[in-house]
């Protein structure tokens, strides 16, 4: 399954970016230059005013699926993206570390080549032993742990697809440890890490893997976007459509939770690293009346968040 990814990083004044590929991945020291900001008020030094960072990933969005030059060609209007580009910097030369979902996401999150992490294919698909079906992202330093160590609020909203989000993973993390002394040693496996364990203080996503609605009923019935909100998980607890409407698409819910997380960080007076990884416009495609399927999903992403 080819899963081309286009991502957008929006720095809310000033515009700095540190993204390092090294043998140890991303570390706290590598984000030092993100700590400066212009226009300090009330005598506050520049070093104390830290940048808020919004990182957006759209799954399977093609090179020409926006109206921001040169990423044009398919007639899709993304006016808010255009406005953001006009106020910032458009980078046109970017290379992913893989052509499919899981290894690419791992490289973005860690700054490491996925092969060094043992991630060779998409999680949850294919025969056992041939596609990392039961694997998870090792707990190496991530961009989230780096920012969390710098006293940022760290949040994830949307598709994860890095392991640790199967039904049994959730059960293991939420299971009460009734035997703290280990009398049943060997009877439990170590819980696989999910978003919380990878540095995100808060996450909203859906489950993966065999038995999970996303890869079964929602994919088969092509209702992932119209019904996906019903299956949302927040910090290992099911929340469904809480806080939203009955007609909200999955992209609407992913965007709404991200906006709430950012507002909460601002209210606390903390800088934030907000990661929004939309499922859309990846299939299964649902076609509203009068629109082509793929174009409709691109508009769903841009209208929901941009």
- DSSP count for the chain of H helices, then E strands: 8, 7
Pure H helices in the chain = 79-87, 101-110, 143-149, 167-174, 217-220, 224-227, 250-267, 293-305
Q: According to the model, what pLDDT value does residue 19 have?
A: 29
- Give the angle 285-286-292 at the CA atoms, nearest 5°: 85
- Tens-binned pLDDT, residue by residue, of the chain (306 aa): 334 444 555 555 322 333 222 223 333 333 333 333 333 344 444 446 789 999 999 888 888 888 899 999 877 888 888 998 999 889 988 888 988 889 999 999 999 999 898 888 888 665 555 555 567 888 899 999 999 999 999 999 999 999 889 888 888 887 755 555 544 444 455 678 999 999 999 999 999 877 788 877 898 888 898 899 999 999 999 999 987 778 889 999 999 999 999 999 999 999 999 999 999 888 888 876 666 666 766 666 655 555
Q: According to the model, what pLDDT value does residue 247 have?
A: 82
Q: According to the model, what pLDDT value does residue 179 have?
A: 52
Give the count of beta carbons closer than 10 Å to the beta carbon of residue 58: 27
Fold category of 5-32+50-174+190-305 in CATH: Alkaline Phosphatase, subunit A (3.40.720)
Residue pair 298/281 in contact by the 8 Å Cβ criterion: yes
Coarse DSSP helix, strand, coil percentages of the chain, rounded to the nearest 5 percent? 30, 15, 55
Q: According to the model, what pLDDT value does residue 81 have?
A: 87
**pTM of the full predicted structure?**
0.80
């Amino acid at each position: 399954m080819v899963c081309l990814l286009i991502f957008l990083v929006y720095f809310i004044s000033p515009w700095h970016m540190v993204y390092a590929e090294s043998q140890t991945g991303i570390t706290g020291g590598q984000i030092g230059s993100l700590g400066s900001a212009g226009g300090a008020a009330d005598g506050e030094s520049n070093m104390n005013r830290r940048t808020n960072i919004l990182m957006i990933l759209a799954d399977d969005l093609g090179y020409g699926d926006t109206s921001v030059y040169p990423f044009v060609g398919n007639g899709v209007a993304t006016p808010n993206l255009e406005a953001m580009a006009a106020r910032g910097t458009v980078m046109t030369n970017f290379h992913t570390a893989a052509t499919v979902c899981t290894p690419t996401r791992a490289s973005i999150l860690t700054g490491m080549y996925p092969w060094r992490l043992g991630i060779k294919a998409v999680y949850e698909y294919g025969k056992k032993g041939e596609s990392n079906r039961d694997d998870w992202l090792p707990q190496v330093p991530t961009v989230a742990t780096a920012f969390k160590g710098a006293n940022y609020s760290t949040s994830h909203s949307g598709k994860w697809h890095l392991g640790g989000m199967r039904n049994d993973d959730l059960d293991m993390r939420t299971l009460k440890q009734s035997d703290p002394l280990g009398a049943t040693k060997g009877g439990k496996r170590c819980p696989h890490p999910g978003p919380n364990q990878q540095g995100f203080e808060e996450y909203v996503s859906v489950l993966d893997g065999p038995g999970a609605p996303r890869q079964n009923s929602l994919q088969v019935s092509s209702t992932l976007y119209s019904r996906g909100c019903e299956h949302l998980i927040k910090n290992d607890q099911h929340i469904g459509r809480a806080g939203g409407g009955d007609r909200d698409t999955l992209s609407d819910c992913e965007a709404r939770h991200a906006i709430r997380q950012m507002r909460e960080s601002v209210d606390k007076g903390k800088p934030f690293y907000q990661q929004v990884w939309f499922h859309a416009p990846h299939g299964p495609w649902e076609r509203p009346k009068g629109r082509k399927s793929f174009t409709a999903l691109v508009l769903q992403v841009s209208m929901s968040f941009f």
